[in-house]
Amino acid sequence: MTPEQLSRDLRLGSGPFLRQRRRILGLSLVAAGAMMPISLYQMGVIGHLPEPPLPRLDADAVDASAEAYAILATPDAVLGLGSYAVTAWLAAAGGQDRVRTRSWIPLALAAKVGIDALVGAKLTVDQWTRHRAFCSWCLLAAAASVATVPLVVPEARAALRRAGS
């Protein structure tokens, strides 16, 4: 497939899984967008993370915690940005017939989305058990990750069938 064909496929195509892939891409970018203000806060660019005036929301406490800096000596929101970029890349990679031509990509995407959802769920539980508070930005990213799970299933099933035949 030439780059010109790929451009047409992704922008104008209506293949069986393109609608889901576009939604996965959108949800990954929503999650990445939620990581941006947290990253700014964790690096000291901004001094406070705004939250809706609701009980149990305290992004400053959650995102300034020691746990948020424990992996690779890096603020976890910056790691989250990179992670969601990988998910977006896997959603965008390949043409509309990638189940047939590159079946490993939908399988890798399904695995990555599963990891994203599990990590988001774990971090949400950790927020409550460790801080008795939640970060609304983090909740948005976790919700986007979980919402992505059912979107990867049809293409992953087709890729598994293709790999098994």
- Domain locations in the chain? 17-48+58-164
Q: Of 74, 71, 75, which is closest to residue 138 (Cα–Cα)?
A: 75
> Which CATH architecture fits 17-48+58-164?
Up-down Bundle (1.20)
pTM over 0.85, yes/no: yes
Q: Are 83 and 75 in contact (CB under 8 A)?
A: no
Closest CA relative to residue 62, chosen from 118, 122, 115, 124? 124
Residue-wise pLDDT tens for the chain (165 aa)? 899 999 999 999 998 899 999 999 999 999 999 999 999 999 999 999 999 999 999 999 999 999 999 999 999 999 999 999 999 999 999 999 899 999 999 999 999 999 999 999 999 999 999 999 999 999 999 999 999 999 999 999 999 998 876
